[in-house]
Structure 1
Amino acid sequence: MSKRLKDVGESAVLRLARKIFTKSKIVVTGIGDDAAVLSIGGKFFAMTTDMFVGKTSIPQIATPEQIGKKAVVINFSDLAAVGARPIALLFSIAMPADFELSSVERIMRSMEKEARRYGACVVGGDVDEGEDITIAGFAFGIVEGKILARDRARPGELVGVTGELGSAAAGLDVIRRKLEEKRFEPLIRAQLEPEARCVEGIILGKCKGVTSAIDISDGFAYNLWQIAEESGIGITVEKEKLPICSLVKEYSKSIGKDPYDFALFGGEDYELLFTIKPSSLSELERKFKRANRKFTIVGKTVRGRGVWISEEGKVKRLPKIGFEHFRHNSQNL
């Protein structure tokens, strides 16, 4: 009997794609990274596609403007993870026949505004009829420094992350609980109106000591495992160093939940997780300070295979928990 997707998950589809589709000479990085990178005429061009479907990806309270914004951000975030500057976006959208035209206009105007904000533009796409609203973007960018990938981390490096963790997952929890406390609105915005770390990605790509990167879409713990497995290394992170905003801690306390669950396993932060050689840390600190951006060193790469987390001197294996399509194996956050 053939296996079902719910039993094997998205990762099995990815392994199958890697087995079937072969690279050509112009492909520098392909299936398995956040974006493919092609070498054309002495330049590196990055391209990616990302999609979301109404029932599984769009909370019911999301406005058309928020839907359009997020459709752009999830694609540009993939470009940021390989160090590329976004320049163009194509998109395909499927909708039910009774979907309001005014809502379509609001989605598209939001996409135009968001793409322009990142210095890119929407250049075309396709429209079709479907049972649920579905938007698939195709983003195109130029790598201005070196290419960042998931498989180039080595033992003896530092592990860093931009921004803060857990806000988007906490925001989704607020939405699910239908809480209307005004103080938690920033968490809801983090879920519905994320930011792509394109400036940070370009800086990372131009810092010679940065060795790998990935965007945090499926959960910090899950993405740590992806870098560890692709690079064939081990990673140890220090729990106390994880950057969690005070509002996530405040919200977690109000519902009796550990804020680290949101930070480690929640996902959709769209921050960048990266590894860097210790000798290049001061250079990266200067560049981030100049750009008014921030990052935090949270751990290190080690010999071996796996991911561990330390707390008060005790080290334990960090479970590979996060979001994976078809299996829906994220924690019940």
Structure 2
Amino acid sequence: MSTLNFDRHRRLRRTPTLRRMIRETQVTVDDFIYPVFAVEGEGVRNEISSMPGVFQFSLDTLVKEMEEVVSLGIPSVMVFGIPSEKDAVGSGAYHTHGIVQKAIRVIKENFPELVVIADTCLCEYTDHGHCGVIQGDQVLNDESLSLLAKTAVSQAEAGADIIAPSNMMDGFVAAIRKELDEAGFEEIPIMSYAVKYSSAFYGPFRDAADSAPQFGDRKSYQMDPANRREAFREAESDVQEGADFLMVKPGLSYLDILRDISNLYDLPLVTYNVSGEYAMVKAAAQNGWIDEKQTVLEILTSFKRAGADLILTYHAKEAARWLKEGYKS
């Protein structure tokens, strides 16, 4: 028998059941929000080349996709739209019969129990690809707020349960809250993309949503990836303006920020497991370099461990199936 005196931490790791019993962080299907891309047309189910397993859906095929989402127990979807026409002010974003508005109505009519979140931005709808009104090569902040608020109201009128503004204009939560309240939508919460970095991990999404800027970049309104303290100021502004949820985006490279925001605020916290993170996992798995199931569940667990209450992820359907099978370790 050893005479050494040391802690035997391995005692609690000895069997799978022991590990499961003392696991500190649990990921469940109730944590997931599934992003979906709606397009005009009929019979459309276009796979996005840079995001294997993710598709653009016309409204008829979207219904079948939602059937699967509901059958897996996923409680919520976020709707992004790709319009058939674009213009300088993104009018398709706030049109009564815009693609997102139509998709929301279809989903709520067929699946009233699903929580439908509307992405509230202009970039998919502007011919220049920026998230607001432009003048020369500048994105105008205050002039963009009225259009974003108008978009939010039209989405609420269509039946959205939650408004999720992603544009990073200063004052966007205050402007949207004011217009929602004046339109009689005081009960509709705002899920603010409070801390959104200007990230290289968004590349595949811009394929999916056809939203790449036609000139310049978004660094003047999205955050510098090198900044930490700035995230506190951004989140504080949105809390003061009336946000009901806070989001940190992206997720995987910003776990420190996620933990910081979780420690500072009591609002439900969301993180976005973005397209580039998804694409990297898929590419590595397809090449046989990683175990996709174990990698995805580890990533999702890291978000929860860092403080996320909800995870917006393209892995939602696969992860829901894996969790039903049991997360073995």
TM score, norm. by length of structure 2: 0.28
| Structure whose residues are more often strand by fraction | 1
Q: Larger C-alpha radius of gyration, 1 or 2?
A: 2
Higher RCO (CA 8 Å, separation ≥ 6 residues): 1
TM score, norm. by length of structure 1: 0.28
| Structure whose residues are more often helix by fraction | 2
